[in-house]
């Protein structure tokens, strides 16, 4: 049985499609093909009506999944500037310095309670009552502080997989995921076949889910959702037109 020929962007004439990853600075990721040459393609944004040329070297494979829209892979993350698309340059953020001593409570401006000065007419009983009032106020303040900390930290302790995954979107790549969640304990790539859309699986120790990235290579792969231990979607990324990446996730082979 002969294999199906790969779909090219020319096959999407008169059909709406989406780019993945989405072009930065474009609000609506839904496009139409207007013209194509050997070196570049002209596409038109359905919502804004703006047309832009994209060099062929950035155009990748067209996904066979067309629900709700066909997806055209981009070899580089692009952004729209001054009516043209350019490779997006990510700024490198300086890492915070570790090992610096934290200021003590007194250095942060927490003042000690004023000392009670005994006047000429103050009796030992009066001084004792004042000390008890100050001690009670301090204990009450500490109890309230502990209660506030417990309430604030409670949602974090019981955070579900869906809530955690909501912090990720289609613009997240491997580096941004590491900044948010840390270095994964497992990092697997489906295959090394160039020119085809591939999948990257990131697993984290003691976490019951696997993050899935899709792209033409490791550098261009972007987050499309999360799968549980049974390889069922537990979080998806929204796509233009009201759909999501659930159909793509269901076709990801387990690896």
Last residue of a domain, one of 87, 121, 153: 87
Q: Is residue 114 in some structural domain?
A: no
A 10 A CB-CB count for 142 gives 10
Q: Is 220 exposed, middle or buried (0-12, 13-18, 19+ CB in 10 A)?
A: buried
Asked if 236 contacts 245 with a C-beta cutoff of 8 angstroms, the reply is yes
- Residue 186's pLDDT is 92
Last residue of a domain, one of 87, 104, 137: 87
- Residue 159's pLDDT is 43
pLDDT-based confidence at 109, cuts 50/70/90?
low
Q: Is residue 154 in some structural domain?
A: no
Q: Is residue 77 in some structural domain?
A: yes
| 128 vs 31, higher pLDDT | 31
| pLDDT cut 70: percent of the chain above it | 73
For residue range 114-158, list pLDDT tens digits in order. Answer: 554 444 445 556 667 787 778 777 777 787 777 666 655 544 333
Q: Is residue 205 in some structural domain?
A: yes
> HSE of 22 in the Cβ direction (CA atoms, 13 Å)?
20
Structure pTM?
0.47
Last residue of a domain, one of 87, 119, 150: 87
For the chain, how many structural domains are there in total?
A: 2
Q: Is residue 45 in some structural domain?
A: yes
Q: Is residue 101 in some structural domain?
A: no
Alpha helices in the chain (DSSP H): 124-157, 161-165, 174-181, 246-250
- Residue 161's pLDDT is 46
């Amino acid at each position: 049985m002969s294999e199906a020929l790969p779909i090219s962007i020319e096959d999407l004439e008169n059909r709406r499609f989406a780019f993945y990853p989405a072009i930065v600075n474009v609000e609506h990721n839904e496009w139409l093909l207007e013209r194509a040459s050997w070196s570049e393609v002209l596409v038109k944004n359905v919502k804004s009506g703006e047309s832009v040329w994209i060099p062929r070297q950035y155009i990748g494979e067209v996904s066979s999944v067309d629900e709700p829209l066909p997806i055209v892979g981009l070899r580089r993350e692009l952004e729209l500037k001054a009516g043209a698309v350019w490779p997006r340059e990510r700024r490198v953020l300086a890492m915070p310095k570790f090992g610096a001593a934290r200021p003590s409570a007194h250095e942060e401006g927490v003042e000690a309670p004023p000392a009670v000065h005994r006047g000429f007419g103050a009796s030992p009983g009066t001084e004792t009552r004042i000390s008890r009032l100050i001690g009670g106020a301090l204990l009450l303040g500490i109890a309230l502080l502990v209660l506030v900390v417990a309430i604030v930290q409670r949602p974090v302790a019981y955070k579900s997989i869906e809530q955690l995954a909501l912090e990720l979107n289609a613009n997240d790549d491997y580096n941004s995921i590491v900044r948010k969640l840390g270095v994964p304990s497992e990092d697997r790539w489906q295959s090394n076949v160039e020119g085809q859309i591939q999948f990257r699986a990131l697993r984290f120790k003691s976490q019951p889910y696997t993050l899935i990235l899709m792209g033409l290579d490791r550098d261009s792969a972007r987050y499309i959702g999360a799968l549980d231990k049974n390889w069922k979607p537990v979080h998806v990324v929204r796509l233009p037109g009201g759909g999501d990446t659930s159909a793509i996730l269901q076709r990801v082979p387990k690896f």
